[in-house]
């Protein structure tokens, strides 16, 4: 039971953007993808999300090839939180969050309200809920996108099917406190059974919250495993082509990455 | 007051929004009914509708003939064309994610006019089966509208350029191309055809007769009904094509349905009444201001508002210069063009 890729590759002409990557996102885990610009993180995410087919290898969701899952059923099972959208019309924050809701039944109205209010509270955007989305700052928009994703993968009590949330740099426009609160939320959701894959640029957030880390370099997997095993000073310095120090901070009792 | 009803449990602003959406549709529905009643009664031949219905007055043979054979088809045609143009404007704005998309501005109406005019000029030389007769003109106009909408979509959206300017510039180019075609057909037309052609360039409901308008009204109704269920998918499309797909929307299918539906609505409308400008621009904007941006309100309310507006505009065209008649397209453009200018200036200052 997982969202998996086996030997996946994506090519543009002769160039392989990503090549021969094996990945499993299990329900209940928070997998963080790290890597420098152009390492293929977003390409990997778009293949796992089913946006585009892999040119090599295969992506499966619970052992079913992803291209054989209809886009409606796929949307029931996984949500993607991308960069903030630009809208031409004045939808409110609440409108955007509600767009994640999938169930159409009339009886689901109470559940809908619950899921939307919970997501709005989780992402701390209650004060913005009735504002027009396009008047928000980019960091605020990013939290709205996350709330929409959480609504999409909302797990009702009568449904035990696993769900996945894929996020492309969900903290890139957020301040420190908001970034930490987003990762806290993602960890909490993963503990409730959600499979979470997040692309991050902040190595410290990755080291602190990831169950496992996939480190990409030039479209290939440089390493994959527990943060302490993957995020060594030598490997990070090599992948990011700049000196990186990693130490275990005894007072905080966690890895700290210094650049 | 101690019982908790389901509505009070809900967030107050959610209930308020539902209320606003419902009353928006209601307001425009009432406006349309009033417009239909007034427009059927007033005209070159005044028809004492109220007195005939509720009082003791009886209609003269002339009055009842004018009412059933001239007035009613004309008012209904105006309503259908207005609804078709307004809904097409609303869905095209949603598809292009661009508040300035409008059937006339972006060339869809010209494409339809070209199809219709080509049909008028060339059909004498073609052996057309009798059965197809009343459908030929609408079908030719729909083909023209479809060609333009598809071309526009390929040019303006596939290039990943969502700029307002690109779409309008492509629209200008398409309008220019259509003008060449229309000019060509005008040049080769004979005197009788020429009179019919002039008609298309100005727009009028003056020729409405049951036998010709019924097929076109059926097509417009079918097109509008096929567009209404797309409301939620159009909402999701506002996030962008990729995001909409991730939320379970089959974007290529949605695009095809919008392009086909809008082209059918505009084509059938233009075939009957010529080019009636700016209804598709003004109406969705007015509706958004009153009822919000959700397509499930925008589409039906635009249909009702567009119908009411066009019926009133046609009434104006009939009575302002009595006993003569002015082209209704002139009237709608006179209102719409300044509105368009205001909209451009407003968008420039806020974005």
More confident residue, B41 or B134: B41
CB-nearest to B246 from A49, A95, A113 is: A49
CB contact under 8 A, B242 and A51: yes
Spatial separation of the C-alpha atoms in residues B105 and B100, rounded to whole Å: 8
- pLDDT over 80 (residue A129): yes
Spatial separation of the C-alpha atoms in residues B327 and A84, rounded to whole Å: 47
CB-nearest to B98 from A85, A88, A90 is: A88
- pLDDT over 80 (residue B91): yes
Q: What percentage of chain B reaches a pLDDT higher than 90?
A: 33
pLDDT band at B6 (very low <50, low <70, confident <90, very high): very low
In this predicted structure, what is the pLDDT of residue B189? 83
Express each pLDDT in B111-168 by its tens digit. 988 888 888 888 776 666 655 666 788 888 888 888 888 887 777 666 555 555 677 7
Helices (H) and strands (E) in chain B, counts: 16, 0
- pLDDT over 50 (residue B201): yes
pLDDT band at B102 (very low <50, low <70, confident <90, very high): confident
Report the gap between the CA of B274 and the closest CA in chain A (Å). 30
pLDDT band at B7 (very low <50, low <70, confident <90, very high): very low
Q: What average pLDDT does chain B have? A: 84
Residues of B with CB under 8 A from a CB of A: 10-11, 13-14, 93, 97-99, 162, 235-236, 238-240, 242-243, 245-250, 288, 293-294
pLDDT band at B49 (very low <50, low <70, confident <90, very high): confident
CB contact under 8 A, A80 and B246: yes
Express each pLDDT in A143-198 by its tens digit. 999 999 999 999 887 788 899 999 999 999 999 999 999 999 999 999 999 999 99
User: Please, what is the Cα angle at A233 between A28 and A39, to 5 degrees?
Assistant: 65
Spatial separation of the C-alpha atoms in residues A147 and A156, rounded to whole Å: 16
Q: By mean pLDDT, which of A230-239, B200-209, B277-286, B297-306 is the weakest?
A: B200-209
**Residue A56 backbone dihedrals phi, psi, to 5 degrees:** -145, 150
Q: Is A61 left (phi over 0), alpha (psi -120 to 50) or beta?
A: beta
Spatial separation of the C-alpha atoms in residues A26 and A162, rounded to whole Å: 9
In this predicted structure, what is the pLDDT of residue B156? 62
Question: Can you tell me the mean pLDDT for B18-24?
Answer: 87
CB within 8 Å of A241: residues ≥ 6 apart: A36
Spatial separation of the C-alpha atoms in residues B19 and B76, rounded to whole Å: 30
Domains of chain B: 73-349 (1.10.3470.10)
Question: Can you tell me the mean pLDDT for A14-21?
Answer: 93
The whole-model pTM stands at: 0.89
Report the gap between the CA of A251 and the closest CA in chain B (Å). 43
Express each pLDDT in A53-79 by its tens digit. 999 999 999 999 999 999 999 999 999
Q: By mean pLDDT, which of B54-63, B94-103, B105-114, B315-324 is the weakest?
A: B54-63
pLDDT band at B4 (very low <50, low <70, confident <90, very high): very low
């Amino acid at each position: 039971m997982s969202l998996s890729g086996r030997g996946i590759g994506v090519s543009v002409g002769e160039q392989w953007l990503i090549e021969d990557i094996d990945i499993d996102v299990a329900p209940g885990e928070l997998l963080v993808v790290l890597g420098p610009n152009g390492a293929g993180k977003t390409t990997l995410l778009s293949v796992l999300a089913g946006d585009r087919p892999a040119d090599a290898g295969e992506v499966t969701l619970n052992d079913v090839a992803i291209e054989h899952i209809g886009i409606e059923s796929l949307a029931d099972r996984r949500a993607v939180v991308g960069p903030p959208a630009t809208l031409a019309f004045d939808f409110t924050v609440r409108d955007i969050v509600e767009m994640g809701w999938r169930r159409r039944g009339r009886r689901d109205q109470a559940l809908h309200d619950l899921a939307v209010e919970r997501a709005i509270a989780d992402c701390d955007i209650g004060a913005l809920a009735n504002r027009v989305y396009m008047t928000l700052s980019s960091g605020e928009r990013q939290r709205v996108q996350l709330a929409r994703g959480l609504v999409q993968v909302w797990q009702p009590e009568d449904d035990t099917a696993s769900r996945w949330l894929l996020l492309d740099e969900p903290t890139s426009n957020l301040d420190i406190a908001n970034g930490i609160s987003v990762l806290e939320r993602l960890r909490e959701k993963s503990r409730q059974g959600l499979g979470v894959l997040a692309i991050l640029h902040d190595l410290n957030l990755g080291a602190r919250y990831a169950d496992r880390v996939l480190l990409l370099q030039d479209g290939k997997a440089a390493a994959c495993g527990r943060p302490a095993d993957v995020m060594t000073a030598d490997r990070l310095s090599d992948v990011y082509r700049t000196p990186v120090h990693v130490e275990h901070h005894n007072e905080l009792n966690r890895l700290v990455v210094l650049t | 007051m101690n019982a908790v009803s389901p509505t009070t449990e809900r967030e107050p602003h959610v209930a308020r929004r539902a209320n606003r959406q419902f009353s928006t549709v209601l307001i425009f529905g009432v406006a349309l009914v009033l417009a239909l009643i007034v427009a059927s009664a007033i005209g070159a031949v005044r028809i004492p509708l109220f007195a005939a219905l509720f009082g003791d007055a009886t209609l003269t043979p002339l009055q009842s003939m004018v009412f059933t054979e001239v007035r009613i088809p004309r008012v209904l045609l105006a309503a259908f064309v207005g609804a078709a143009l307004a809904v097409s404007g609303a869905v095209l704005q949603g598809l292009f994610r661009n508040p300035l998309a409008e059937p006339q501005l972006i060339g869809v109406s010209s494409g339809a006019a070209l199809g219709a005019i080509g049909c008028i000029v060339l059909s004498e030389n073609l052996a057309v089966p009798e059965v197809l007769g009343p459908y030929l003109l609408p079908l030719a106009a729909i083909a023209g509208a479809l060609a333009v909408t598809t071309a526009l979509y390929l040019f303006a959206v596939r290039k990943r350029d969502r700029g307002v300017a690109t779409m309008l510039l492509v629209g200008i180019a398409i309008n220019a191309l259509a003008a060449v075609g229309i000019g060509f057909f005008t040049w080769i037309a004979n005197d009788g055809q020429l009179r019919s052609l002039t008609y298309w360039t100005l727009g009028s409901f003056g020729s409405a007769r049951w036998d010709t308008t019924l097929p076109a009204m059926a097509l417009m109704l079918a097109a509008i009904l096929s567009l209404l269920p797309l409301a939620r998918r159009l909402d999701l499309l506002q996030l962008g094509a990729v995001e909409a797909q991730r939320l379970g929307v089959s974007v290529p299918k949605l695009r095809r349905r919008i392009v086909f539906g809008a082209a059918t609505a505009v084509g059938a409308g233009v075939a009957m009444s010529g080019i009636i400008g700016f209804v598709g621009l003004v109406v969705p904007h007015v509706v958004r201001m009153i009822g919000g941006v959700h397509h499930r309100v925008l589409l039906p309310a635009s249909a009702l508002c567009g119908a009411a507006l066009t019926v009133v505009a046609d009434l104006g065209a009939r009575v302002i210069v009595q006993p003569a008649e002015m082209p209704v397209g002139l009237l709608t453009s006179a209102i719409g063009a300044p509105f368009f200018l205001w909209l451009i200036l407003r968008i420039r200052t806020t974005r």
